[in-house]
Structure 1
Amino acid sequence: MATYKSFAKSFSLFIAFFLLSFANAPAQNKYELNEGWKCRQIAEVRADGTQISKTDFAVNAWINATVPGTVLTTLLNNKQVPDPFWGMNNAHIKDIYTTGRDYYTYWFVKDFTQPAPTGNNQVYLNLRGVNYSCEVFLNGKKVNKQTHFGMFLRQSYNISALLNKNGANRLAVLVYPPDPVGNPNGGQGGDGRIAKNVGLQYTAGWDWIQPMRDRNTGIWDKVTIETTGAVRITDPHVVTIVPGIRQVEGKQQPAVIKSSATLVNATGKIVSGVLQFIIDGQRMVKNIAIKPNSSLEVNLNDLVLKDPKLWWPNGYGTPHLYKSSIQFFTANKLSDKADINVGVREIQTSWNTQTHSRQVEVNGQKIFIKGGNWIISDAMLRFTDARYNAEVRFHRDMNLNLIRVWGGALVERPEFYNACDEYGMLVFQDFWVSGDANGRWLDPMKKDDQWTRRKYPDDHKLYLQSLADQIKLVRNHPSLAIWCGGNEITPPEDILLPVRDSILPKLDGTRWFVEYSNSDKMSLNTLGGNGDGPYGIQPDSAFWKVHTFPFNSEIGSVGINDFESLKRFIPTENLVAPEFSDDKKKNKVDSVWDYHKYIGYDASIEPYGKAKDVKDFAAKAQLVNYNQYRALMEGFSAHMWDWYTGVIIWKTQNPWTAMRGQMYDYYLDPNACLYGLHNGSEPLHVMYNPLNGMVTIVNNTFTTKRDLMLSVKTYDMQGREKLLTQVFEEIQPQSVKGFVPVKDDVDALAKKEGVFLSLRLTDLKQNVVSDNLYWLVDEKGNYSGLKKIAPSQVETVAKQIVPGKIEVTLSNPPNAPVAFFNRVSLVDSQSGARLLPVFYSDNYVSVLPGEHKTVTLTYDAGKIKSLPAVTVSGWNLKEQTISLK
């Protein structure tokens, strides 16, 4: 009898699973309200929200609004203000500090079609981000009972009872700017008072950006309409546990998947159903009954995933993602679901007693952090999936493995995290405070004293609510590795302690929380200073010689783009090269360059010859860029696990047309910084120690690299080769080793006019696995040989492999000079304008005599109507245009 009952029960469960898999049409649906908005300044509207939100209220005379977006974006798109990213335009746009807040206070209206729900179905209005406070009206009714405050606090309203029966509806949102708006007086965060809000701090200006004149007021993030059944799923949570020390290859021991969700019953009666989590063809289910008008947090039983495909950071393995879904069914109908891409991985950290700093571990393996600091994708909050993907892809192409999201901006959007998940980029996520605005230092530019600023923001309860909400928004992303209390300072203690001791343990609990970005708990500072920097240009050897902070969260340098980039935002009359006075140790800089925060190259251009004009200056700057960032990463990598556990560059991108610290410009055009990093950050890399002349190999991978042929050669300016050594070597995992000292030979060969030093690793199949070419100065510190090197004889062939993929091969004949530092660009075949964004497997490449190099270009062919062309230009090669074959 017992056997029969067990069989019957099992059969019933099987039938239930079958029904769940083939249930009726789902009630769940979600769409974005991102077109057809209208807006108007509050002073021009003589009606209230109950009137404006009725469909018969005339808005034909209102201007078209950009949502998601800011007021300034809307004004720009309506040609009511000039492009603030061009020239001095931003200085001529009215600033909210002068105009008053009403000037940028706007009504936003959207008509949409949504039938009133039937039966137990529900409809929700979701606003993912409004800056800074707002009133919400729908069809003549107030939706939010009290004014909503907080840029980072999501809003969700059940609007089922407010929808018109005929399906024609109007949403009206009155958006107020931050308060206070802060005085943009040139300080970091202006006078600092912008930080009294729970919002962005850079909008009042910083040393890399001018102020955003509306302080980013607007419905800046997505607005969605969501329909569900009686029960809605909120705050789904998936945690992966990967015990032990894992390898990238081979069969894996099981991993454990924990899943949970909050179920909201919006009806007046008990609703029973089944909650299920599905991943990789496996499922975990639970029968649930939810009381009327209530919510219930439900934890499903653990699911064991056998032989899982793991998620690894970039450079260590594939960042594999599983598609999963949490679903709730009632009466065999889907009520709601949440789809989640799951990366099976576990983040740990431990204290490295050798370096006196924290080290990050993924799946039990220590990861040497090579990161970039990220501000925000666009200073006017014009976010797109495509832009996020391109920017994160650039970081992947730099061979970095972490992006730090700086605390003066925001908790980044899920779309950013989606790209980081895909490309294997770990994320170090700051919360919203900074040492500059929040009182760490005495600062005469600030309105309030340090004691007052230390208590910013004004509303601590709102800060904690917003923080908890944003944790829930992004916590399922495998790329998210580190939470940080703030940039160079902790939040006030009555914020810090709840975050550290209760909020994070309850809502996440799986990641390292560092209290502030340069905390001694992250990197024990025995060197003095504040634990960051330096930020200016350094001699290449300094990165090898100077022992800086053992997990350096900010170290930065120069980063202007080439002439084509400068023309995109600098007027012709201001395209004037900076001049450096060696006597005064000062740069003479054009006013537009200064407004766009140019940081000086000082005397670093001079060894290549004094710049003839701005085009020549920008071209020579690329040589400096390449060397600067290659040397930075090589110097840190050379001391991996000895001096350092990680380094994060300040910074790798700009959300505005700034002229410092960027590997690509605002328009997504890469410069030589990106490719210097691409080279210097290779997982397996051969390099030259400029201090002792030792040829050194760094192996960032988890496996021993055996039977590597190490080849060391020099080439003079005529292209004559000299083999210094060639030897088989091996290197252990996660290690650095010096192999061959060649300083005396190299110095002797470089003495007269400089020399090219070629370092190369090849495997047993004679495939090149690391290739590194240095150009070294003469005994006086100049590149005298480069100044007179013969013209390049390189021949270039470009062919389309498939639409969106092109191979460019540069071939240098024997007995020719080195074809030095060639920039490959994809251009419009008619206008010659550079196409953006394009992703190059390498760039600024040099080709040795008798050799060839192939660069692969990928781009979105769907956005280009005609077949493009390729241009190539180099140090000793005049620009050529090559048609595609």
Structure 2
Amino acid sequence: MKKHLVLLTLLIGNLLAVSAQSFEWLLTDENPDIVWQVKPKADVKASGFEISKPGYQFGEAVKAPVPGVVFAAYVAAGLVPDPNVGNNIHQVDEAFFNRPFWYRTTFNTPKKLQSGERVWLHFDNTNRYADFYFNGQKISGTDSSTRDISGHMIRSKFDVTEWINPDGSNAVAVLITDADQKKTRNAEDSFGVAASPTYLSAASWDWMPYVPGRLAGITGKAYLRIVRDVRMEDPHIRSQLESNDIAYLSVSSMISNDADQEQEVTVSGTIQPGNIQFSKSIKIPANSSSMIYFERKDFEELIVHKPNLWWPNGYGEPNLYTCKLVCEQGNKVSDEKIIQFGIREYSYQFVPNAAGWPVMNFYINGQKIFLKGGNWGMSEYLLRCSKEEYEQKIQLHKDMNYNMIRLWTGCVTDDVFYDYCDQYGMMVWDDFWLYVAYNDIVDYDDFKSNALDKIRRLRNHPSIALWCGANETHPKPELDAYLRTIVASEDHNDRMYKSSSNQDGLSGSGWWGNRSPKDHFENSGSNLAWNNPPYPYGSDRGYGLRTEIGTATFPTFESVREFIPKKDWWPLPTDEELKDDDNHVWNKHYFGKEASNANPTAYKAAVNTQYGASDNLEEFCAKAQFLNIEVMKGMYEAWNDKMWHDASGLLIWMSQSAYPSFVWQTYDYYHDATGAYWGAKMACEPLHIQWNASTNSVKVINTTAKSLESAWASVKVYDVNGRIIEKYSQDASINVLASNHVEAFQIPFSKEVNESALQFIRLELRDADGGLIAENFYWRNADHGDNYTDLQTIPAAALDVKLLHRKQSGHQCAFQFEVKNKSNKPVFGNRLRLVYTKSKERVLPIIASDNYFTLMPNESRLVTVQFKADASAEAVDLLRKQYAYDEETMLTIQLDKSPVSDTKVGAERALAKRKVAAMN
């Protein structure tokens, strides 16, 4: 489906009017007419009845983002120091925020109300408890009740027709009460038991700090909706495949009649593409609800021939359909809904491995899928992720060639996340709100009502591939049975419900510390698999489907300087400090005791011993990126190597950074790609060639839905001076079935005395006509394992860089560069980045074809970069850093201010302001 259809659907909620009789108006920051204020309940003497009157004045209050949380409002107002930096968030008085707060806003009725119209006030998410007032009335619970709405993903809606001022001002007041436990950072009570359903990491984890207020606030979309007496609720569009050429659709919706008399309504639907139309009339008794169904036995139009199937990234296009439902009451439109959906069918198999233990395999549309992806702990630790940022994050995941994101403990409550996953072909493993010690909760009814609403709210998203009950445990039997039941009744088991995230066909969790690629190829071990008898691990078993495995991941220096104060840059903490010291600033950003699972002492030692000791933070960060590349690529490639011979997929812990830190990330908090990003992107490419560091086997991996035929795999091994060691060169013709792999050859390493210890391996995969499909690059030490300190001895060399092609559409930019090594030496580890010429600020995020690449003598490479430029920017600089040498400016590129430009730039017209001189 074309992108503009998807974007149209995403924008529906922002339109002032859907039709003459169906109207939606945002009460969020996207609406410039809306300003929310927040104030502690203890500082407000008035009741909710008074506060919610239009004439009431809050007095001194803080402007509040909506959606947002109380603490983030105070951050935005500058009333607390930037919590991203240093240990600032740990200095905040949590008692100030761990108490009830009032939210308040006013608005004028946005349209003239017609006879028979009803006004509904909607709140999609509130955390953790909420009481609602409108124009002097209590509209939730009873006049004396408290904590009326309980949860964080349950939608609230109120008919406020009789209280709205049609020609004047209206006021809304919401009392938000925080969760009961962990009222102080050091409290020992189990936050998840009392607080769930909520954001379980809000009371801190080994990757984000304790948030004062524990993310209490109006955390979702708020809006007015004006309809007539009869409205549609939670329409559901299902797809079933007879084959990939024939799909059966069914449409259903709850129809609610708010009138005091029976109503006969007609519900009509149109599905595009295909212009599939259907219509039916139904009588709804007074003040009640009924279901309406459209099925193929009554509407042959719902049998779709040659459907545009939704496929995950790498296996096909994520085609989307839209269904417009119109409910007519008499001859007037009473309500309208537009639903985005995809035609697809998930299935699952459990296949015994070499030890006889079951391994879970995923299928979609009959195609076996090798899972590649990562976990999200949170979108952002203060819930400040905008729509644009969500798209950036999902684009980055797609660029890493991922096909799945796991939402750890149901951490994301924003619908737009799922919209972009649908659009970009990213499957979602969706957890509920239970974790290990928190597999039981205080209030079962609250949990159940939130779970039911979550499924009804999200079930139309084709991206959701599995519902999971609990992280690394099983829900208590009553909760487990309930979740299983509602998945069956509300989602018709179109997706599996699975009780546990790491057992029952899965291979545990971990490791979480950095390990060499060779270790991963030789042993599948996990340090968190609570099976009895124990899960079998080895070189040919135990890989299976792993939903968590991770490592410490240093960001780039440009990012570290954003959150670590300069006085603390160097030296790094000692091993003793990393193990035992709670208070140093590095520990506050999870390089220390708080992230002991990541084994920071081992990470620091690996950078220093494998790449050489550093003299400053910038040097350490630069070297760390190459360890990041190795470790991340090694994990994925070890699973690739065992594909379908035990392994069925890998989800790292984590792919998404919610807080400025040194652990569990590919790109960092600022969307700057670390070396781990490039290691993942390489290892997860759909057609991939790789080297096994244990056996020297070279395999071609095909994680697509099409077979690869008559391709050529080749290897060249170079010494430290860039000379080919001919005896290791090989090539082979190969065919690889869809979603499969094949060994091409083994590299016959047998080091001679006069060979350099440091060597480079270049693998290439080409089609029958010689076109490059994929390549891969490794560095190895033939004598001393992981010792790469000689990389520092490679001489500096100038590169010739030319801008070959540029395309701009508004602020969206795409450049193509040719980078050429004209020297007779290898140029190792070239990192490219863009900064704005005037401010020197980083251009982020960037989608690039390659980075940290090595060029052999006289070798060139085409590199494409895509980004959205700041509106005020006039030019950008392209910078290049060769490993172990200073960064240099290569080109300055003036940005075109015209709306659209598409230019090929010849060598004589290249916009180079300067070229790099040869470095001594």
| Counterpart amino acid of residue 877 in structure 2 | A
| Cα distance in 1 between the residues matched to 2:137 and 2:652 | 50
Residue 780 of structure 2: aligned partner: 776
**Alignment gaps of 5+ in structure 1:** 1-22, 247-252, 439-453, 526-530
| Cα distance in 2 between the residues matched to 1:536 and 1:815 | 39
Deviation at 1:715, TM superposition (A): 2.0
Q: Secondary structure of the equivalent of 2:586?
A: helix
Would you say the 8 A contact 2:36–2:104 is kept in 1? yes
1:539 aligns with 2:539: no
1:282 is matched with which residue: 258, 276, 280? Answer: 276
Q: Secondary structure of the equivalent of 1:555?
A: coil
Matches within 5 A, 1:271-350: 271-279=263-271, 280=273, 281-302=275-296, 303-350=302-349
Q: Secondary structure of the equivalent of 1:213?
A: coil
Would you say the 8 A contact 2:135–2:164 is kept in 1? yes
2:847 is matched with which residue: 839, 851, 858? Answer: 839
Residue 263 of structure 1: aligned partner: 255
Would you say the 8 A contact 2:820–2:858 is kept in 1? yes
What per-residue deviation string (whole Å, max 9, x for no partner) do you get for residues 583-632 of structure 1?
Answer: 99979999111111114214321221111211111001000001111111
Deviation at 1:732, TM superposition (A): 2.3
Matches within 5 A, 1:438-457: 438=438, 456-457=440-441
1:499 aligns with 2:483: yes
1:670 aligns with 2:673: yes
| Cα distance in 2 between the residues matched to 1:516 and 1:193 | 17
Instruction: Report the TM-score when normalising by structure 1.
Output: 0.89
Residue 168 of structure 1: aligned partner: 169
What per-residue deviation string (whole Å, max 9, x for no partner) do you get for residues 822-856 of structure 1?
Answer: 22212111121212222222222222322222222
Deviation at 1:668, TM superposition (A): 1.3
| Counterpart amino acid of residue 482 in structure 1 | L
2:381 is matched with which residue: 379, 391, 413? Answer: 379
What per-residue deviation string (whole Å, max 9, x for no partner) do you get for residues 543-589 of structure 1?
Answer: 111134411111111211110010111110111253676x9997999
What per-residue deviation string (whole Å, max 9, x for no partner) do you get for residues 471-528 of structure 1?
Answer: 11111000000000011122222111122134543344210111011122x32x5xxx
More displaced, 331-340 or 616-625? 331-340
| Cα distance in 2 between the residues matched to 1:861 and 1:709 | 40
Would you say the 8 A contact 1:585–1:602 is kept in 2? no
Would you say the 8 A contact 2:699–2:744 is kept in 1? yes
1:700 is matched with which residue: 695, 700, 703? Answer: 703
What per-residue deviation string (whole Å, max 9, x for no partner) do you get for residues 136-170 of structure 1?
Answer: 11111111134222222210111111101323211
| Cα distance in 2 between the residues matched to 1:69 and 1:561 | 27
Matches within 5 A, 1:348-367: 348-354=347-353, 356-367=358-369
1:85 aligns with 2:84: yes
| Cα distance in 1 between the residues matched to 2:856 and 2:133 | 68
**Structure 1's 101 and 701: CA in aligned 2 closer, same or farther, altered over 3 A?**
closer
More displaced, 306-315 or 736-745? 736-745
1:485 aligns with 2:476: no
More displaced, 504-513 or 313-322? 504-513
Q: Secondary structure of the equivalent of 1:554?
A: coil
| Counterpart amino acid of residue 878 in structure 1 | D
Q: Secondary structure of the equivalent of 2:162?
A: helix
| Counterpart amino acid of residue 382 in structure 1 | R
More displaced, 724-733 or 661-670? 724-733
**Structure 1's 371 and 364: CA in aligned 2 closer, same or farther, altered over 3 A?**
same
**Alignment gaps of 5+ in structure 2:** 1-16, 29-33, 143-147, 297-301, 526-541, 592-597, 894-910, 912-920
| Cα distance in 1 between the residues matched to 2:690 and 2:819 | 24
2:553 is matched with which residue: 551, 559, 584? Answer: 559
**Structure 1's 748 and 207: CA in aligned 2 closer, same or farther, altered over 3 A?**
farther
Q: Secondary structure of the equivalent of 1:224?
A: strand
Would you say the 8 A contact 1:180–1:197 is kept in 2? no
Residue 574 of structure 1: aligned partner: 568
| Cα distance in 2 between the residues matched to 1:340 and 1:842 | 37
1:159 aligns with 2:163: no
1:794 aligns with 2:799: yes
Would you say the 8 A contact 1:24–1:334 is kept in 2? no
| Cα distance in 2 between the residues matched to 1:836 and 1:183 | 36
Residue 859 of structure 2: aligned partner: 851
| Cα distance in 1 between the residues matched to 2:579 and 2:141 | 58
1:740 aligns with 2:745: yes
| Cα distance in 1 between the residues matched to 2:97 and 2:76 | 22
| Cα distance in 1 between the residues matched to 2:67 and 2:308 | 37
**Structure 1's 69 and 196: CA in aligned 2 closer, same or farther, altered over 3 A?**
closer
Q: How many residues align?
A: 824
Matches within 5 A, 1:80-479: 80-96=79-95, 101-102=98-99, 104-114=100-110, 117-146=113-142, 147-185=148-186, 191-192=190-191, 195-244=194-243, 246=244, 253-279=245-271, 280=273, 281-302=275-296, 303-354=302-353, 356-407=358-409, 409-435=410-436, 437-438=437-438, 456-479=440-463
**Structure 1's 877 and 186: CA in aligned 2 closer, same or farther, altered over 3 A?**
farther
| Cα distance in 2 between the residues matched to 1:874 and 1:202 | 39
Deviation at 1:716, TM superposition (A): 2.1
What per-residue deviation string (whole Å, max 9, x for no partner) do you get for residues 697-738 of structure 1?
Answer: 111223221221222112222222344123332222222222
Instruction: Report the TM-score when normalising by structure 2.
Output: 0.86
| Counterpart amino acid of residue 317 in structure 1 | G
Deviation at 1:774, TM superposition (A): 0.6
Would you say the 8 A contact 1:411–1:470 is kept in 2? no
Residue 628 of structure 2: aligned partner: 625
Would you say the 8 A contact 2:802–2:818 is kept in 1? yes
Would you say the 8 A contact 2:182–2:191 is kept in 1? no
Q: Secondary structure of the equivalent of 1:496?
A: helix
| Counterpart amino acid of residue 558 in structure 2 | E
Would you say the 8 A contact 1:820–1:876 is kept in 2? no
What per-residue deviation string (whole Å, max 9, x for no partner) do you get for residues 391-439 of structure 1?
Answer: 11111111111100001x535421000111111111000000100x41x
| Counterpart amino acid of residue 231 in structure 2 | R
**Structure 1's 543 and 474: CA in aligned 2 closer, same or farther, altered over 3 A?**
same
Coordinate RMSD, CA, aligned:
2.4
**Structure 1's 612 and 82: CA in aligned 2 closer, same or farther, altered over 3 A?**
same
Residue 514 of structure 1: aligned partner: 498
| Cα distance in 1 between the residues matched to 2:580 and 2:763 | 36
| Cα distance in 2 between the residues matched to 1:841 and 1:364 | 31
- Residue identity over aligned pairs, in percent, reads 27
| Cα distance in 2 between the residues matched to 1:42 and 1:750 | 78
Deviation at 1:24, TM superposition (A): 12
Would you say the 8 A contact 1:489–1:516 is kept in 2? yes
What per-residue deviation string (whole Å, max 9, x for no partner) do you get for residues 56-95 of structure 1?
Answer: 1123533322211111011111111111111110111011
Would you say the 8 A contact 2:376–2:411 is kept in 1? no
Would you say the 8 A contact 2:134–2:173 is kept in 1? yes
Deviation at 1:640, TM superposition (A): 0.6
Would you say the 8 A contact 2:268–2:327 is kept in 1? yes
Deviation at 1:208, TM superposition (A): 1.4
**Structure 1's 472 and 501: CA in aligned 2 closer, same or farther, altered over 3 A?**
closer
Would you say the 8 A contact 1:750–1:779 is kept in 2? no
Would you say the 8 A contact 2:70–2:215 is kept in 1? yes
**Structure 1's 869 and 259: CA in aligned 2 closer, same or farther, altered over 3 A?**
same
Would you say the 8 A contact 1:622–1:673 is kept in 2? yes
Would you say the 8 A contact 1:313–1:424 is kept in 2? yes
Residue 899 of structure 2: aligned partner: none
Matches within 5 A, 1:711-790: 711-723=714-726, 724-745=729-750, 747-748=751-752, 752-781=756-785, 782-790=787-795
Deviation at 1:301, TM superposition (A): 1.9
**Structure 1's 464 and 130: CA in aligned 2 closer, same or farther, altered over 3 A?**
same
Q: Secondary structure of the equivalent of 1:160?
A: coil
